Amino acid sequence: MKVVAIDFETANERRDSACAVGLAWIEAGRVVRRESRLIRPPQMRFSPGNIRIHGILPADVRAAPTFPEAMAPFLPDLASGLVLAHNAGFDMGVLAASLTAWGEPVPALTGHCTLQIARRLFPDPAGCGLSKVASRLGIRFEHHDAGEDAYACAEIALAALRETGARDVADLVRGLGLTPIRPSAAPRRDMTRDFARSTSTRALRVAGAAALGPADALRFSMRGRTGNRYVVAYEDGGDGPYLRCSCPAGTHRRRCRHVDALVDGDVTDLISNNADDVERLRLRIGDAVVGPLRAKGAAAA
């Protein structure tokens, strides 16, 4: 039986917003294969808290495959084997919600949680989070990188095999009396509308373009690299939409990183409390080329 450890990173609070997946295969008592993929979530909305955790930005995944495309090579192994994840309820939920959202069947796979295994075999008052267990076991990895997290999950399972003398992972979970965690299909989401489940954006679509509000209402305060505060304002120029930034590059009519971030939907450095307006901005500009049309400047503001 194949044993595969898996880990997902998500763009926001939704389980169907996977933006990265990592996998690690176990055979003959060792990790024999590792894979990781970036994923373009159906709703390109990245929460600042999620970005702070995994460091993945909208621009990183704009050209990435969709969830079904990214997972297609791996689903046969997952469906026919035993799947491990640290806090498996979360990862099984992401797998099920994402497949269901795209109208894909959810495989009846068998999953087990290395968090539960660690609580049984490697308890500690400090807790059994992935990084804490890995540190106690001497497993070196880069936390919140999906591929690295899957590898650490697999190594925790291997450490449990050595600790118990179990023949394999299936024997280990039987001996510990663990109950399998299985993904279950959720109600299907209509993927024909990118922002169908976003309350503010759903209202925009119902109300029509007028709900986008006047262009001068689209103003954003952005944090510069040195902590300075800059203002990016939307304008309807004669040559198309224009985002004017008050940073040094913007005042010289050069494309700056603050404009690039807003066009990509990246709210990492957004200071003003109007993340919903970033969605309004992206709906307004659509696929238009946003000025200034000069090459992107090396703005370090």
pLDDT for 201 equals 36
pLDDT for 227 equals 87
Distance CA 195, CA 193 (A): 6
Could you tell me if residue 186 is inside a domain?
no
Closest among 5, 10, 42, 44 to 26, alpha carbons compared = 5
Task: Encode pLDDT of 192-226 as tens digits.
Answer: 344 333 333 333 333 344 444 555 578 999 999 88
> Do 141 and 254 reside in the same domain of the chain?
no
pLDDT for 216 equals 54
pLDDT for 209 equals 42
> Do 134 and 215 reside in the same domain of the chain?
no
Could you tell me if residue 193 is inside a domain?
no
Could you tell me if residue 191 is inside a domain?
no
> Do 121 and 25 reside in the same domain of the chain?
yes
Domain count for the chain: 2
Q: In angstroms, what CA-CA distances link 252 with 53, 208, 234, 296, 299? A: 34, 35, 16, 12, 10
> Do 21 and 148 reside in the same domain of the chain?
yes
Could you tell me if residue 292 is inside a domain?
no
> Do 12 and 124 reside in the same domain of the chain?
yes
pTM (whole model) above 0.85: no
> Do 53 and 105 reside in the same domain of the chain?
yes
Residue ranges of the chain whose pLDDT lies below 70:
185-216, 237-239, 286-301
Could you tell me if residue 293 is inside a domain?
no
> Do 164 and 213 reside in the same domain of the chain?
no
pLDDT for 205 equals 38
> Do 101 and 203 reside in the same domain of the chain?
no
Phi, psi of 266 (to 5 degrees): -85, 115
Distance CA 68, CA 98 (A): 8
> Do 84 and 48 reside in the same domain of the chain?
yes
CA dihedral of residues 194, 200, 205, 206 (deg, nearest 10) = 140
> Do 154 and 227 reside in the same domain of the chain?
no
Last residue of a domain, one of 143, 176, 209: 176
> Do 158 and 206 reside in the same domain of the chain?
no
pLDDT for 49 equals 83
Distance CA 235, CA 214 (A): 10
What residues make up the domain containing 269? 199-285
Could you tell me if residue 22 is inside a domain?
yes
> Do 165 and 245 reside in the same domain of the chain?
no
Closest among 148, 147, 114 to 128, alpha carbons compared = 114
Residue type at position 139? I
HEC assignment per residue over the chain: CCEEEEEEEECCCCCCCEEEEEEEEEECCEEEEEEEEECCCCCCCCCHHHHHHHCCCHHHHCCCCCHHHHHCCCHHHHHHCEEEECCHHHHHHHHHHHHHHCCCCCCCCEEEEHHHHHHHHCCCCCCCCHHHHHHHHCCCCCCCCHHHHHHHHHHHHHHHHHHHCCCCHHHHHHHHCCCCECCCCCCCCCCCCCCCCCHHHHHHHHHCHHHHCCHHHCEEEEECCCCCEEEEEEEEECCEEEEEECCHHHHCCCECHHHHHHHHCCCCCECCCCHHHHHHHHHHHCCCCCECCCCECCCCC
pLDDT for 192 equals 39
pLDDT for 187 equals 56
The CATH number covering residue 101 comes to 3.30.420.10
Could you tell me if residue 263 is inside a domain?
yes
